[in-house]
Structure 1
Amino acid sequence: MKHSFIKTKPDSHFPIQNLPYGIFQKNSQNPRIGTAIGDYVLDLSVIDEAGLLNGTGAEAKKIFSASTLNPFLEIGRPVWTAVRKKLQYLLDENTPDLRDNLDLRSKAFHFLTDVEMLLPVDIGDYTDFYASKEHATNVGTIFRGKESALMKNWTHLPIGYHGRSSSIVPSGTPIRRPLGQRKPKDSEYPVFGPSTQLDFELEIGWFIGPGNTQGEPIPVHQAEDHVFGLVLMNDWSARDIQAWEYQPLGPFLAKNFATSISPWVVPLEALEPFRTKGPKQEPEPLPYLKQTKDGAFNIDLEVYLTPENAEKPTRITKTNFDNMYWSIAQQVAHHTITGCNIRPGDLQASGTISGPNREERGSLLELAWRGTEPLQLEDGSERSWIEDGDTITISGWCQGEGYRIGFGEVSGKILPAFSEAKILGTQPVKI
């Protein structure tokens, strides 16, 4: 097993086998690209300037001084692979180039606790799928009953919708409870106010690298060549707003107010040792969706809820990404089968990830069964929905032999809703 001269513990999310990419900022310096190794971020612009990334195909483009990962995403897999191999070589415990250059090391390495992690990509389009059969079945059972849980089209194609990229935020960004219309069961008409059924959705997203020409679909066997890497995601959802607005066109305001993602993008190549088969698909997909190689990944996922001022969090979900019915490749292929062009920096996501057991459900809608089975928390309180002051934290990793390929975490704390009085005009609104 490879080891780095930067020591990492077995449960570290960022060993030499991982090397995720992100955008960091220290003090007032310009944002730039780094990779995580142990407790440190390695400034790739510094080692690139020193000539250590020569021969990768990236050195002439100065992409590591960019304030987003977009230029790196555009460049494609041959360069991604070359840079990854060079970084693993440079960080190896037996390679002296960086290990023994103490002056360069002092400039290139920063403690993760000393930097601010920013949104890694200037996100263009954002598409959210609905690819977990267990989640779709649970939601269908709640709203339509067990006999009509899955819609007839669900096992034939990956369902998705176009989301809002402007409100995607990095981990740690506070989330304000949304306002909107909702229709109480005992009311003939809708009311306006803060959502009372705020929820999280445990998801994984992936960033697109090179895109396709409009009018030319991406075949399923080539789809992963267009995928740069993966992030954790929380697609915050206002269930009461959604229940009133979604017919007949689907989610809108219930999901456009915020989506949180983790700051580190784990390269698809780092996940190769954890590739697995995934669920059996019945009926057999149509030929354009038929994948010949294993398309799932064994990624452990956990969700914690921490009430404001609580001494400890409560783990409310533990599941795995290998439960997903539709694979990443199938979702990319389906997205482009019409000739839709995807572009570098586009974000696509899995939809809520749920497993077959209650503790594997990826949303409070399912965990508390739409409020009828509240969760018991460590501090003695109950939750059917997220309350003001609550923090939701998602973590994920692949467990190797003696190491982990981790995603870090994505978290967000819920703030009270914006003042209704300001919206209604009885208080001035600051523009």
Structure 2
Amino acid sequence: YDITRERRYLDFAKSIVAGIEREGSSQLIAKALKDVPVSQRSAYPASWWSFENGQKAYEMMSCYEGLIELGRVLDDPLYKEAAERTAERIRRDEINIAGSGAAFECWYGGKDKQTLPTYHTMETCVTFTYMQFCRRLWRDTGNPLYVEEFERTMYNALFASMKHDGGQISKYSPLEGRRQPGEEQCGMHINCCNANGPRGFALIPKMAVATKEDGIFLNLYVPMEATVKTGRKNAVALKVETDYPVNGKVSIGVEPQRDEHFKLSLRIPSQVDGAKAFVNGQEQEVLHRGGYLCLDRMWKRGDEVTLEFDLQTKVVKSYNHQAVVRGPLVFARDSRFDDGDVDECAVIRSDERGVVQAAVHENMSGSFAWITLEVPAVLGTDLEDAANKTARPVRFCDFASSGNDWAPKGRYKVWIPQTLHMMTEPYRKY
């Protein structure tokens, strides 16, 4: 309809929605407005791989993407509201620490179950479609929360799906275990995830920098050069130099073809513990994290913006398990470090804020990992030996690097069981 303006296409789209909302059908709009959890929007199917199964995560999000588009054409905010409410339920109930979710391709209340070993989790089709859903919602709302979700999924679940040589995409990328190719489908030597994984990588530049009516938005801090057009038919070249999220330093060169007054909005990630911003060396006020720093000024050739983010390594806990994070990155133990059993229980040492004093190494010589952390931890259940009472460095790597050789004998793990210590007060909650 957008291309041809022929009414029959719009009528067909509306008839699809009418079918969706019929009594006994999936009723995606009505259930979204009633805030029904996505894992409960369809009855448990008698046959899993059938049209009875309405919990399919990839397909459900795609339906809401279509509703957003229809709402835009009809100028009806109801469709976007249904999509936003659904995205919030997905984020709250389903998306795990690495930015993906689902098991056997379906929603299952997975965020609360992510510390449990689970069959067939984090299908790459779900990973990509969640990124696409977030990007479409950001385009229509400007809410930086969707960029933050996109970034977390990109650095962790998406990057983890690709084999280290770039030659293959995994069908599933669980939070523990190993990765491997998926089955061949439809008489071809590929499957759905081989097709959708690259689409996720192709979305990155589209989300990284974008324009709206109120100016230019820099959403992702990756090394890049981009040229964007302003509303006054001016071209602005942006050059971003950074090692983020290894460290928090970002340099942004701004080169308009001609001087122009416009707004440059820079996202300040909520995962950083502090942020500073400078324009040509002059410090700017950063009011809060998780939003945008809007620089509304006359821009000239040679202008430079610098950002300084405070990145700290932290431990997060869930159901007597621990995971290590740094900025948007999740980390995992990997058997290739050969520094103990990756499944062993441990107590990761941190302060009362959860901050871990970890050594950070990027691209260590001879290492398989992009980023390696040396995390202080007390391993195992034996405290009789005085030496074991002292934490020792245990190596973690970024989740994307963990298990990236797909070796059958390899193993990695994100959630580490926390050893119970009954002589401390917190044991009582267990």
TM class by shorter-chain length?
A: under 0.3
TM-score (norm. length: structure 2): 0.25
Task: Using structure 1 for the length normalisation, give the TM-score.
Answer: 0.25
Query: Relative contact order (alpha carbons < 8 A, sep ≥ 6): 1 or 2 greater?
Result: 1
